[in-house]
A = this chain, B = another copy of it.
Amino acid sequence: MTQLSRFLYGGDYNPEQWPEDTWANDIQVFKQAHLNSATINVFSWALLEQREGEYDFSKLDKIVKELSDANFDIVLATATAAMPAWMFKKYPDVARVDYQGRRHVFGQRHNFCSNSKNYQVLASKLVKKIVSRYYKNPHIKVWHVNNEYGGNCYCDNCQNTFRDWLKYKYKNLETLNKAWNMNVWSHRIYDWDEIVVPNELGDAWGAEGTETIVSALSLDYLRFQSESLLKLFKMEKAIIKKYDPVALVTTNFHALPNKLLDYQKWAKEQDIISYDSYPSYNMPTYQSAFLYDLMRSLKHQPFMLMESTPAQVNWQPYSPLKRPGQMAATELQAVAHGADTVQFFQLKQAIGGSEKFHSAVISHSQRTDTRVFKEVTELGEKLEKTGSTILGSKTKTKVGIVFDWNNFWSYEYIDGITQDLDYVESILDYYKQFYKRNIPTDIISVDDDFSQYDLVVAPVLYMIKSGLAEKIDQYVKRGGNFVASYLSGIVNENDSVYLGGYPGPLKDVLGIWVEESDAVIPGQKITVSLDSNNYQANLICDLLHLEGAHALGNYNSEFYKETPAVSENKWGKGTSWYIGTQLDEAGLSKIFDHLISIVNIKSLTETKTDLEITKRVTKSGKELYFVLNMSNDTKDLPSEFDAYKNLFTDKSANKKMKAWEVQLLSKL
C-alpha cells in the first residue's frame, strides 16, 4: 500500500501540553469539525525518555488509545526532532557547530548533528521503542519521521565523515584536486585530512550558501549534508519497516522549498510525500501552486498537506487574518494540485512556547462559536462529502518544468556579473506562464523521463551534469520541445566551466552560442522587440550568435541593438528555444503564446479567466475540476462549466463565484 485509506482531515495535536482531563473534550470538538485524524508525538522525546534508557509511555499510550477509540487515523511521529536537555549535557556532540564555527548547546529544535554517533544511537533506540510498542495499532496509518529536517553542521564529526564521503566519491586526491580545480589560489591538497568544512572560518563568507572560494567543495558539502540527514531518515525508516511494513512512512518537507535538502533524492525514500505549507500574506497564488505541483511531481503521486494553518501563523513578519473563505480556498488549492490530506498545525493552540500565537482549530478562547472554527467545520463537511472521490486521483500534464537542487545550489553560488540571481524566482517566471493559462505542469527533476512531456522547460539550467545534454538532445531530436534560458549550460557537476562557448553542451540543440552577457542594472531600460512591441529585459542580456537557430526577437537597446535576444531552432523532429534575458512578464507571454501554439498545448478552459483551474482524474476516470477564486473579488465561471455539478454542494455550478469560493466540478 502506498496510499491513504481515507482522505485525512486533521493535524498536529499535542495533548501532552494539556491536562489529561481535557483530552476527551478536545476529541469531541475535533469531531464536531469533522476531523478524522491527528498527528501526535512530534516533540515528546523529553517526556518519553526522562533519563537515558528510561522510557515512560504511559501518557502516549493514553493518547493513542483515546484517538483510536474515536476512530481517528493517527499520524505517529518518532519524536526525534527535538532532543532532551540531558542529551546535550551528556553528549555535547549531538548539537551542531554553526556556520560561524560555534558549538551550540541545549535550546530550540531541529539542531542535531546528523553525523553524531551519539545522536544516531539514541534516536535509533527511541524509534525502536516507539515502533515496537505501537505498530500493531491499525489506526496508525502514517509514520511521521522526525520533523522538518534541515540545517547544516560544521563540526569535527561532520568534517571527518565528509572526508570519508569524499574518499568514496573521488577515490584519490588526484581526481579530487582536478574535479575541484585546486590549482586555483594554491588550494591543491595532499592529504585527505587537509580538507576542512567550508564555513566562515574556512573557505566561505557572506550568508551561508552564497559565497565560497571552492564552489565544488561547497557543493559537495551541501550534497553531503543533505545525504547525511537522509541517512538519518533511512535509519529510522528501516526500524519502522522491520515492524510495520504496511503503514506509510514519510517526513514532512517544508519551505519554499527547503534549499538544504535535495528533495528529489529524498522523495525516493518516502512512501508518500508530505509537505508543510505556510504561504505568507503576500505570496502570489502561483507560488503556492508551484510548490504543490513540485510536491506532487516528486513521486508523481498525490501528497499529504501535512501542515498548514487554520488562521494566522506567528512567525512571519505580518500575519493578517485570512478573509472569510480564504482559509478553505488556501487549503483546497493544495488539494486541487494533488493533496490527499488537509492537516493543520495545530489542532489546539499552545499557551506557551515561541509558536503560541500560531493559530489552531481550538484557539486560546477555546470556543467553537468563532469564525475560524466555523470555517474549519464547513471545510470538514466538504471534505467528508468529497474526500473519498478525491482520494488517489491523479494529475496529468504535458509540460514539465525542470527544478534541480544541484542547480539551486550552484546557481546561487555564482560569483558573477550580477548579484541578483535567485533560482526559485527564475523558475517561477516560467511557471507563471502556465499557471495563468491554466495549463497543468509537472515540476520535474533532470532525471525524470522527458519523453512523457510535449514540452520541457528548463530555465537557468546552469549546471549540466554528465549525460544530461545528450538526454536533452535525444529528447528534442525525437520530437520533444525544449525551452532554455540565459545562464544555462555553463558548468559541469563540479562547477567547472564547459569550454568552447556558452551554453556549453546545449549549443547544438539550441543552435546558438553566447559570446558575452551584459548585466542589467536595476532600473536600466533595455528592451527586446517582439512583433514590433518592446519589452523590458532584466538581470542579464546574452549576446547571441545564431548557428542554425533563427531569431524570434532582437534587442532594441545598447550597442547590441538589433542582435538576437530570443531564438528558435528546429532540431530533429522537435524544436528548441533560447531566451537570452529575463524578459518582463508581457514579453515572456508573447513568446509563450507563440510556442504553446506550436507545441499545441491546451488550457483546461478556452475562456479567458482569472480563476485558477486544475483537474484531477480518479482511478475510474472521472474528471474532477477544481475551480478556485483565489481573490477578494467576484469572478465569472467559464461558460463551458455551466452544466457541471459542484460536488461540494451537489448543486449545479455557481456562475458567479464569490471571493475565495472554490467549486469542485464534475460533468453531470
Give residues in A with beta carbon < 8 Å to B.
Answer: 14, 16-17, 43-47, 50-51, 79, 81-86, 88-89, 100-109, 180-191, 193-196, 198, 200-205, 211-216, 281-282, 311-312, 314-315, 317-321, 323-324, 349-358, 364-367, 370-372, 414-419, 494-502, 513, 515-521, 543, 558-559
Which residue of B is nearest A17, CB measured? B183
Is B351 a contact partner of A499 (Cβ separation < 8 A)? yes
Q: A583 to B4: give the CA distance in the assembly, Å.
A: 50
Q: Told that A103-B201, A104-B202 touch, could you supply 16 new A-B pairs with CB distance under 8 A? A: A44-B183, A46-B186, A46-B188, A47-B183, A50-B188, A82-B185, A107-B201, A108-B213, A109-B186, A184-B353, A315-B415, A318-B519, A320-B520, A320-B521, A352-B494, A366-B499
Is B188 a contact partner of A89 (Cβ separation < 8 A)? no
Is B106 a contact partner of A213 (Cβ separation < 8 A)? no
Point out the residues of chain B lying under 8 angstroms from A500, CB to CB. Answer: 364-366
Which residue of B is nearest A195, CB measured? B85
Query: What is the total number of copies of this protein in its complex?
Result: 3
What are 9 A-to-B residue pairs whose CB atoms are below 8 Å?
A17-B181, A44-B183, A82-B187, A84-B186, A107-B198, A108-B202, A281-B521, A352-B494, A354-B415
A450 CB to closest chain B CB, in angstroms? 27
Point out the residues of chain B lying under 8 angstroms from A350, CB to CB. Answer: 181, 184
Q: A212 to B109: give the CA distance in the assembly, Å.
A: 12
Q: A317 to B188: give the CA distance in the assembly, Å.
A: 29
A30 CB to closest chain B CB, in angstroms? 17
Q: A46 to B186: give the CA distance in the assembly, Å.
A: 5
Is B202 a contact partner of A106 (Cβ separation < 8 A)? yes
Is B355 a contact partner of A415 (Cβ separation < 8 A)? yes
Partner of A194, one of B79, B89, B517: B89
Point out the residues of chain B lying under 8 angstroms from A281, CB to CB. Answer: 521
Q: A520 to B196: give the CA distance in the assembly, Å.
A: 47
Is A351 a contact partner of B496 (Cβ separation < 8 A)? yes
Is B417 a contact partner of A86 (Cβ separation < 8 A)? no
Which residue of B is nearest A315, CB measured? B415
Point out the residues of chain B lying under 8 angstroms from A355, CB to CB. Answer: 184, 415
Q: A195 to B516: give the CA distance in the assembly, Å.
A: 54
Point out the residues of chain B lying under 8 angstroms from A372, CB to CB. Answer: 516
Q: A350 to B195: give the CA distance in the assembly, Å.
A: 22
Which residue of B is nearest A501, CB measured? B365
Q: A47 to B185: give the CA distance in the assembly, Å.
A: 10
Given A104-B201, A196-B105, A204-B107, the answer on whether A186 and B44 have CB atoms closer than 8 Å is: yes
Partner of A186, one of B82, B520, B558: B82
5 smallest CB-CB distances across A and B, nearest first, come from A181-B352, A357-B416, A184-B353, A107-B203, A107-B202
Is B415 a contact partner of A215 (Cβ separation < 8 A)? no
Is A364 a contact partner of B497 (Cβ separation < 8 A)? yes
Point out the residues of chain B lying under 8 angstroms from A367, CB to CB. Answer: 501
Is A324 a contact partner of B494 (Cβ separation < 8 A)? no
Point out the residues of chain B lying under 8 angstroms from A365, CB to CB. Answer: 499-502, 513, 515
Partner of A213, one of B45, B100, B353, B499: B353
Point out the residues of chain B lying under 8 angstroms from A180, CB to CB. Answer: 352
Given A364-B499, A502-B364, the answer on whether A371 and B181 have CB atoms closer than 8 Å is: no
Q: A367 to B513: give the CA distance in the assembly, Å.
A: 12
A492 CB to closest chain B CB, in angstroms? 9
Q: A409 to B103: give the CA distance in the assembly, Å.
A: 28
Point out the residues of chain B lying under 8 angstroms from A202, CB to CB. Answer: 104-108
